Amino acid sequence: MATSGTPHTADGTPSPADGTPSQGSRGRRGWLLGSRGSRDEFDVDYTRAWTGLWVVVFGDVGIALAAIFGVIHVASKGGNGSLIVSILTSAFTAIGTMTTAYFGIRASSNTAEKSIKKLPGTGTGTGTGSGTGTGTG
């Protein structure tokens, strides 16, 4: 049987031409449904990114719903405008802070990960200049 020049992964599926990591036979649906195949670094980063994003989205929605409920409750009791403004200001501050923190942490984490991967000898434990040596002399 003749084989084509296309490289294949271990499970026989063609490798992507652009060099992106392959999901293998699991595909996206298998990953989303929680198939228990082996997880590589790509899967862990992918899961971590989506989980963090969903936490932020649901947190933002929860804060917005609490603010809406608070505004409706205060308005129905005949509360003054300064109470409503303080509820909305606090809600917008919390949503903005949580969203900004997520994207800031994610960006710095990605930057640190990329810079560590570019270091020579990373992960070998044989780096030079660690400053912990007990040499004589």
Domain ranges of the chain: 56-106
| 14-39 residues labelled b (16+ CB within 10 A) or e (exposed) | eeeeeeeebbbebeeeebeeeeeeee
Q: Using 50, 70 and 90 to split pLDDT, how confident is the model at 132? A: low
Assigned token pair, 61: 């929605």
Average of per-residue pLDDT across 119-132: 58
Name the more confident of 8 and 79: 79
Give the range among 1-5, 78-82, 87-91 with minimum mean pLDDT: 1-5
Other C-beta atoms closer than 10 Å to the C-beta of 109 total: 14
Give the range among 22-31, 54-63, 93-102 with minimum mean pLDDT: 22-31
Name the more confident of 64 and 112: 64
User: What is the rounded CA–CA span in Å between residue 28 and residue 34?
Assistant: 10
Nearest Cα neighbor of 46 from 17, 23, 13, 14 is 23
